[in-house]
């Protein structure tokens, strides 16, 4: 396959997101990027490892200890911005959702346009 066609196909399949190489989780590096408009999206490479830090059942206090302060707080979820996509001014975030007791129900990367 033509390398340009392959790259375009990869962008289409990932919803326009650049495919970041998975990285190990660096808590200090993650926390230092809170609220950062860094277009290179260094958090994007750590999303998979960050999700592993907060499995279902994790208490909110432990989420704070592991990921630091969220960029946005909702009633039952916290968002950690991970970076822009290549198309449409869309951003992605790690969304950590909680139950009524304040424990993690899920953690996943979502679009900030739909929060899904």
Domain boundaries, the chain: 20-111
Residue 6 has pLDDT above 90, yes or no: no
- Span 8-35, average pLDDT: 62
Residue 87 has pLDDT above 90, yes or no: no
Distances (CA, A) of 19 to 14, 22, 47, 86: 7, 9, 12, 11
Distances (CA, A) of 85 to 44, 64, 115: 10, 26, 14
d(CA 21, CA 44): 9
State the pTM of this model: 0.74
* Domain spanning 20-111, CATH class: alpha beta
Residue 72 has pLDDT above 50, yes or no: yes
Residue 21 has pLDDT above 60, yes or no: no
């Amino acid at each position: 396959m033509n390398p340009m066609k392959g790259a375009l196909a990869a962008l289409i399949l990932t919803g326009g997101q650049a495919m970041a190489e998975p990285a190990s989780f660096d808590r200090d590096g993650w926390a230092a990027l809170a609220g950062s408009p860094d277009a290179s999206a260094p958090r994007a490479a750590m999303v998979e490892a960050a999700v592993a830090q907060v499995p279902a059942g994790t208490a909110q206090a432990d989420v704070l200890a592991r990921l630091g302060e969220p960029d946005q707080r909702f009633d039952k979820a916290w968002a950690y911005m991970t970076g822009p996509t290549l198309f449409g001014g869309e951003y992605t975030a790690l969304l950590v959702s909680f139950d009524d007791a304040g424990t993690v129900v899920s953690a996943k990367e979502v679009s900030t346009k739909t929060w899904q």
